[in-house]
Amino acid sequence: MKQLILKGKKEVKNLLVDSLHQTIQELGVSKSSKKADKLVEKSANKLAAQVAKQLKKQSKQVAKMKKKTARKKEEKELVTA
């Protein structure tokens, strides 16, 4: 599976909705009912919120680590100079 770069809750939600609808169609259901569509939307919303929160947390950690390594590199250059 190819790796996607997702930045926000809307992108995650749209991806989840699409994949859930594809899965329903692969099961042999020609057209899903309105109730099923509402459940897909609701569950995708909840999952997207959770995933977006995790993505935000990870991006903060990566930024923090980059900042920390840059600071150490600068300190090392100052000491050696």
Say whether pLDDT at 77 is over 80. no
Query: What is the Rg, in whole angstroms, of the alpha carbon atoms belonging to the chain?
Result: 21
| Predicted model pTM | 0.65
| 40 SS3 class | helix
Average pLDDT in the chain: 85
Identity of the residue numbered 53: K
In a domain? residue 40: yes
In a domain? residue 1: no
Say whether pLDDT at 4 is over 80. no
Say whether pLDDT at 12 is over 60. yes
In a domain? residue 35: yes
Name the residue with tokens 């989840």. Answer: 16
In a domain? residue 4: no
In a domain? residue 51: yes
In a domain? residue 2: no
Secondary structure letter of residue 65 according to DSSP: H
Share of the chain above pLDDT 90, in %: 22
Identity of the residue numbered 79: V
Number of separate domains in the chain:
1
Instruction: Specify the pLDDT at position 28.
Output: 86
Domain enclosing residue 53, as ranges:
9-80
d(CA 81, CA 79): 6
Instruction: State the pLDDT confidence band at 44, using cuts at 50, 70 and 90.
Output: very high
